[in-house]
Structure 1
């Protein structure tokens, strides 16, 4: 069952829905926008059967990353198995047993997401996993607009510009960081990848601002 935001029985969800508009003016100045940079680690890549293991989020406001606001959660997933993904993020079943229940993590994450534009590298998958969890617990998906820094890099950086070939893939986080001369702190952790993505986002926005010769507005950025 789905509820309008003013009838949703969960107060955290009701406040989130009320404070997160579906549309914003394309002319909204960049300086007036609130962003939440986000990254998730999961048991695998199947939106139906895999589960969230960790998530991190960091606010970006007034053109600055609020590193002190970086927060991360480890999910309690007692039935998680060791998979190929484990070799990448190194989150073991014994780690997951001591985590926070999925429902509680979502309740704590929603205030940070309220009214924000969500930014991430290949963010579509992360949002897909979060939406699956939101539907399991609250019967509603996230409603934030999203920006993929991989796609933004293809718009801003000549090295990754679209070529017209159908098999061209968006660049990975490591590729973009290497091109920009950034090192990734704790790669393949939600915290480290979130911090790196925030740096990429702000650098790309600065380059786009110089390219356009004016301050950015929402319509300059490839949000979904």
Structure 2
């Protein structure tokens, strides 16, 4: 292959380079869960299309060894210039006047990346949040998320009989509200990034404990439906 040394990609910003260098794309199998650092995330957005919609708010909560420090929850409101009312406002309640008080998206991502570096990302229906974050990260830093990922909807389908995969076509993954109802969890500030993050973190602990009881032993990473980015 012919090399053209004068043509090269721009170096990554330090925060992006530190994230990429410090975040393995997979975990060793059989790693005990108490040795794994999880970070639960949630994003509220202007809509569902990563190509034209934007992140309005973002939250992240680290969790390790079954402990969720209350002071560990981080949340950000993202500045949006020229924001206008959309149908999504009826869900998350974030008004254009709110986003004018937010931080610049690049600054939010600069604070967010160190929080998730080296962690397993967790969310409910996580793929949507990842698509939105990937679009923002590509725009600002030319990177994508590379963390191992765990969707609590998939975990619920493994840990709860009522949600087990049936083999029938068209079976959908359970919603956050459905899993919370079955597990006896009262969602906190539903459809806010911070509230859904806290609720999903609680759900992760409950589902993990339930699965450990079923297996009769402490869990390892191979027991959970952890996927590569």
TM superposition score normalised by structure 2: 0.93
Compute the displacement of 1:175 (Å). Answer: 0.7
Secondary structure of 2:189's counterpart equals coil
Matched, 1:22 2:25: yes
Matched, 1:111 2:109: no
Q: 1:36 corresponds to which residue?
A: 39
Q: CA RMSD in A?
A: 1.4
Q: 2:3 corresponds to which residue?
A: none
- Higher mean alpha-carbon deviation, 53-62 vs 76-85, is at 76-85
Matched, 1:202 2:214: no
CA contact (8 A) 2:26 2:147 kept: no
Counterpart-to-counterpart distance in 2, 1:160 and 1:86: 30
Q: 2:73 corresponds to which residue?
A: 70
Secondary structure of 1:184's counterpart equals coil
Compute the displacement of 1:8 (Å). Answer: 3.6
For residues 1-224 of structure 1, the aligned pairs below 5 Å read: 8-224=11-227
Counterpart-to-counterpart distance in 2, 1:2 and 1:144: 26
Could you tell me which runs of 5 or more consecutive residues in structure 2 were left unpaired when the two chains were aligned.
1-6
- Higher mean alpha-carbon deviation, 133-142 vs 160-169, is at 160-169
Could you tell me which runs of 5 or more consecutive residues in structure 1 were left unpaired when the two chains were aligned.
none
Secondary structure of 1:171's counterpart equals coil
Compute the displacement of 1:22 (Å). Answer: 1.5
Across the two proteins, how many residue pairs are aligned to each other?
221
After TM superposition, the runs of 4+ consecutive aligned structure 1 residues lying more than 2 A away are none
CA contact (8 A) 1:150 1:170 kept: yes
TM superposition score normalised by structure 1: 0.95
Counterpart-to-counterpart distance in 2, 1:82 and 1:168: 33
